[in-house]
Structure 1
Amino acid sequence: MAVPDMTRPDAIEGWPLPEEQTEWHGDPAIERLMVEAYRGGRMHHAWMIGGPRGIGKATLAYRFARFALTYPDPARAPDAATLAVPAGSPAAAKIAARSHPNILTLSRPWDEQGKRFKASLTIDEIRRTIPFFGSTAGEAGWRIAIVDSADDMNPNAANALLKILEEPPKRSLFLVISHAPGRLLPTIRSRCRRLDLPLLTVPAIETALQAHSDAEADIRRFAAEAGQGSLRRAIGFLDEDAAAIGRAFSRVVARFPQLDGQAAHALGDLVAQRGADEAFANFVDLVFAWLNRRARALPEPDGSPIPESVAATPLATWAEVWEKLRQSSAEVEALNLDRKQFVLTTMNILARATRM
C-alpha cells in the first residue's frame, strides 16, 4: 500500500506538511501569547497544544520551533505579534527539510514489514529522546521534541513520556499535540501548560484552501463550511463529488419531517459509487456535523433555513440518533455492508426523529 510520506502518518497527498507550512491560519492571539511567554522568561518546559484534528496544532508547534531556534536567546527575540521568522532563516529551511538536529518528532512509526503505520506511538519512539537529549545539541539553543500526537501513545509510551516530563533536561522544550487532552493521563496534563486552540473560521479555511488548491471558488466555500472549523476535514470536501453530496444532503433534510424518497435515492447513488470510500466518509462527516449543529442549536453554515420540525426536536432525541448512527456507520465500514442502504436508513432515521 502506497503512502504519501512514510515518515508522517497524517500526511495528506498534495498538501504541505506542518513543518513545511509558512502560514498559520489560527487565532493571532495564540501566537502573541507564545511570543510573550518566550520573551518574558515564562516559557514552560512543556506545552500541550489541544483541539480537534485539522485546526493547525502541528503547524503551530513547528512555527514556534522555528521561532525559538531562530532566536535561541529569549531576551533577544523580537517583540513580534506573530511567530513568523525571516524568509531566509536557516532554521526554517532545515525544519522544512526535516534536517534540523535540534528537533525530534515523535509519531506512530512506519512498519516496514506490514507496509503501514503502526497502530500506536510506541515506547521505543519515546525512548529516542534519551540519546537526543543526552547528547550535545547539534546547534546552539534549545532542543525541541514534538509529540504528534500524544493520543496515539500506548500505556508504556505514556509512562515513558511522563518520566521525561517529570525531570526535563536543560534547554529542552516539549510540544505535546493532542486531539483529546482530557483522555490523557492526568499526570501528563499536569506537567504541561495547556493551550487549547479554537476552531478555524470559514474565511481562514477558505484562505488556506485558495493557497494550495485550484478548486473553483464555490467548491472552496462549500468545503470551508463543511469543514466545521477543521482544515483537514475541509480538504476532504474539496472536489465536485463532495460538493454534490452536500447539496443532495441539504435537499433531503430541507423536506423534513417528510422524507423525499427520490432525493434520498439520488443521495444514496452519489455516496455508493463503486470504490468511492472518500464519498462515504464525506457523507458520514456531513451527517455528524449536521447532528452536532442540531444538538447545539447552531445555524447552518450557509445560512439555509432549518425546518421547524428539526428545530423543535429535543436534544435527547438527537443524542439517541447520534449513538445509533455511530454504531451503524462503524458496522458498514467494518463489514463492508451496502452503503446505499445505509444512506437510505440514515435519512429515514433523521426524518423520523423530527416527527416525534
Structure 2
Amino acid sequence: MARAPKQAEDRLLVDAIEGVRLPRENPLLFGHGAMEQALLDAYRSGRMHHAWLLAGDRGIGKATLAFRFARFALAHPDARDPALASLGDLAVSADHPVARRIANGSHPNLLHLQRDWDDRGKRFRTELSVDVVRRIVPFLGTTAGEGGWRFVLVDPADDMNRSAANALLKALEEPPPRTIFFLMAETPGRLLPTILSRCRVLRMPSLADGAVERVLRDVDPASLRSGQEHEVALKLAEGSPRRYIELVREDGLALQHLLSETLASGHPRMMLKLADLVGQTGSGLLPRFMDLYSGYLHRRIRGEAEPGASVDPPMLPIVIWAELWEKAARSAAEVDTYNLDVRQFVLDVLETTAEAIRRPVSHGVA
C-alpha cells in the first residue's frame, strides 16, 4: 500500500502507514494477554531469558508487544521491586519519560533494526542487510544508562540475509549482561536453527474479529467500514489489523475482487487487466498482490469460501495450491531482487494458476 514513511534518526521506517501510530508509539495491546503475562512473569522471576522470538502473522502486534515490554523494563529497571508484584500487565503511561523517548525513537537503550531505505533505488531494500545488523556492535559496546537494560529488536528477523543472520548469531552467543533481544518473525522456519535454539519462542495467534475491531477503533477509526464491505475486509484480514487497513485503503478490496474473479473465470482479458494494473510503473502493488494471492491460496487449502466472490472457488488437492504458492513466492523474490518485469510475473502467476485449475493432472496430481 502507499505509505508516507516516517523519519527517525535520519532513516525512513519501512512499517509506517500514514495516520497510524507506529508500534513504538502505541501504548495499547489487544488480544495477546497470555503473551504479555508470560513476559511479565519471566521478568519478575529474575530469570529473564536474553532472547525471545515473537512468531506470528504480520500486523497482529508482535512489534507492539516487544516495545511494550521494553518500555516496561526501562521504566521499572529493578525486577525485584516489590511494587511489581501487584501489576497485572506491562502498561506504562504514555506520559512517562521512558515512553516519550521510545515513542520518538530517541531512547539510547533501544535499537530497532529493520530493512532500510535505498536512496539510489528509491525504495526499501528487499532484505535486512548485514550492515544494519552490525549496528548491534557499537550499540552494545557503549555503557548502558537509565537502569542498565538494553534492547535489540530485529523486525522482522526473517528478512535477514545469511550474512546478517550470522552477524546476529554472534551477538546472541555472547550477549552482555542485562541485554534482551526480541526477534519478530512471520516464518520462523526461515531462521538459522542456531538462532532458533537460542530463543524462547512465543507464538502469537492472529486476533479474533472483536480484537481486530478494537485495534482499528484505537489506531485508525477512519479505516473502519460498515456492512458487507466491513465483513469482507474482516474476513480477508484474517486476524491482522494491519491487513484490514491495507485492504480498505486505495482500492485494496477492489484489487482483491478482481483477483478472485480473474482466477474463477480464467479469462485472458481479465488476466491482462490485472497484470497491467499491478505492473504499472510506480504502482507499488506487487507486495499487496502477493499478500492477496497468498490469502486466496490459503483459503483454498482450508476449503473456505472466497469472501465477496460471485463464483465459488474450485476444490483441488492441497498439494496443487501449495506448489502454486511455492513457485510464486520464489519468483516474486527474484522479481524484487533483480528488478524484473512485474507485469509479466503477475501474468505468469495468473496463467499458471488458471491452468492448474483447468488441468490439475498436468501439475502432478491425479
For the superposition of Structure 1 and Structure 2, which TM-score range results when normalised by the shorter chain? 0.7 to 0.9
The answer as to whether partners of 1:145 and 1:175 remain within 8 angstroms in 2 is yes
The CA distance in 1 between the partners of 2:217 and 2:15, in whole Å, is 21
Q: CA shift at 1:240, angstroms?
A: 6.7
For 1:287, the equivalent position in structure 2 comes to 293
**Could you list the per-position Cα deviations for residues 179-207 of structure 1 after superposition, in whole angstroms to 9, with x for gaps in the alignment?**
32222222222112112211222332233
Q: How do 1:114-263 residues align onto structure 2 when only pairs under 5 Å count?
A: 115-211=122-218, 212-215=220-223, 216-218=225-227, 219-239=229-249, 241-247=251-257, 259=265
For the residues of structure 1 that align with 2:123 and 2:307, how far apart are their CA atoms? Answer: 38
Structure 2 letter corresponding to 1:317: I
Contact 1:106 1:125 in 2 (8 A): yes
- CA distance 1:37–1:79, shift in 2 (3 Å): farther
Q: How far does residue 109 in structure 1 lie from its aligned partner after superposition?
A: 3.6
Whether contact under 8 Å (2:262, 2:270) holds in the other structure is: no
Cα displacement (A) at 1:143: 1.4
Task: Indicate if the aligned counterparts of 1:26 and 1:204 stay in contact, CA closer than 8 A.
Answer: yes
Match of 2:27 among 6, 22, 45: 22
- Matched residue SS, 2:63: helix
CA–CA separation in structure 2 for the residues paired with 1:314 and 1:122:
38
Task: Provide the C-alpha distance between the structure 1 equivalents of 2:347 and 2:308, rounded to a whole number of angstroms.
Answer: 30
Q: Distance in 1 between matches of 2:326 and 2:144?
A: 50
C-alpha distance in 2, partners of 1:342/1:97? 44
Which moved further from structure 2: 129-138 or 113-122? 113-122
Task: Describe the shift of the 1:250–1:301 C-alpha distance in structure 2 as closer, same or farther (beyond 3 A).
Answer: closer
Map of 1:28-39 to 2, 5 A cutoff? 28-39=33-44
1:215-234 deviation per Cα after TM superposition (whole angstroms, max 9, x unaligned)? 33244443232122333332
Kept after mapping to 1: 8 A contact 2:5/2:12:
no
Out of 314, 329, 336, the residue aligned to residue 310 of structure 1 is: 314
RMSD: 3.6
Sequence identity (%): 43
The letter of the residue matching 2:299 is: R
Could you list the runs of 5+ residues in structure 2 that have no partner in the other structure? none
Q: SS of 2:112's equivalent?
A: strand
SS of the residue 2:355 aligns to: helix
Whole-Å separation in 1 of the counterparts to 2:199 and 2:124: 27
| SS at 2:80 equivalent | helix
Q: Describe the SS at the equivalent of 2:234.
A: helix
Give the Å deviation of 1:287. Answer: 3.2
Match of 1:9 in 2: 14
Determine which of 52, 57, 68 is the counterpart of 1:63: 68
Judge conservation of contact 2:113–2:155 (CA < 8 Å) in 1: yes
Deviation at 1:173, TM superposition (A): 1.2
Q: For residue 320 of structure 2, give the secondary structure of its aligned residue in structure 1.
A: helix
What's the offset of the Cα at 1:34?
0.9
Provide the rounded CA distance (Å) in 2 between the counterparts of 1:339 and 1:123: 29
Query: Which stretch shows the higher mean deviation, 223-232 or 51-60?
Result: 223-232
Report how many aligned residue pairs link the two structures: 347
What do residues 64-96 of structure 1 show as CA deviations (whole Å, max 9, x unaligned)? 101111111112225433322223222111100
TM-score (norm 2): 0.78
Give the whole-Å Cα distance in 2 for the aligned partners of 1:161 and 1:331: 25
- Cα shift at 1:166: 1.7
Query: CA separation in 1, counterparts of 2:31 and 2:236?
Result: 18
The letter of the residue matching 2:318 is L
| Maintained 8 Å contact 1:332/1:342 | no
Q: Aligned-pair distance for 1:30?
A: 0.8
